[in-house]
Amino acid sequence: MQFVSVRELRSQSADVWRRLVDEQEMIITNNGKPVAILSAVAPENLEDSLTAIRRARAIAAVESMQRQSVAAGRHRMTPKQIQAAITAVRKGRPR
């Protein structure tokens, strides 16, 4: 997988697009840090590609929440404690 700087993408975009056909995926960097994934798609599978990306983001978000829960010790809560926390949050919401 190739890394492409934002500067290179701006100044040599035609070359980057040509390379993308062979590479299929490139990582866009800004100041040496990854900021985006550039991925080749075909018109006939655009929706499938978007669905896969969204699914992967959702899975990553759930995994992150699970890690935060374990770090905070919430994974040890009993069902009764969970229900009490849900009730407290619902009471605090405006109707």
Residue range 4-16, pLDDT digits in tens: 999 999 999 999 9
Say which DSSP state 79 is in.
H
Instruction: Give the CA dihedral 33, 72, 61, 25, nearest 10 degrees.
Output: 30
Q: Cα(61)–Cα(68) distance, rounded to whole angstroms?
A: 11
Contact between 49 and 57 under an 8 Å Cβ cutoff? The reply is no
Residue range 49-87, pLDDT digits in tens: 999 999 999 999 999 999 999 999 988 999 999 999 999
Q: Could you tell me the two tokens for 45?
A: 């599978």
Tell me the whole-structure pTM to 2 decimals: 0.65
Residue 65's closest CA among 79, 56, 75? 75
41: helix, strand or coil = coil
* Per-residue model confidence (pLDDT) at position 94: 85
Annotation: CATH topology of 1-40: YefM-like fold (3.40.1620)
